[in-house]
Amino acid sequence: MMRSHKIWFTILLMSSAFSLPASSAVKKGSPAPDFSIKKAGSEETVTLSDFKDKKIVIVHFWKSR
């Protein structure tokens, strides 16, 4: 009986997770949402809006290890 409840709960949880709309997705051609990150090796924070008047902004994330 308990195993049956776990299975149904898992099915319900998975189906509700996949049915949520992707409201945080950015549509093609729309402006990027503002975000902030810390500079590498510093406590200084940089936001996307700091580069508002620039034509191109490239954000490169890398893994060093």
Q: What is the pLDDT of residues 43-58, one digit of tens each?
A: 899 899 998 888 888 8
According to DSSP, residue 27 is labeled P
Q: Report the C-alpha gap between 14 and 8 in whole angstroms.
A: 10
Single-letter amino acid, residue 36 = S
Global pTM? 0.47
Please choose, from the candidates 25, 9, 7, 6, the residue with its C-alpha nearest in 3D space to the C-alpha of residue 17. 9
Reported as a single tens digit per residue, the pLDDT across 12-27 is 777 776 666 655 677 8
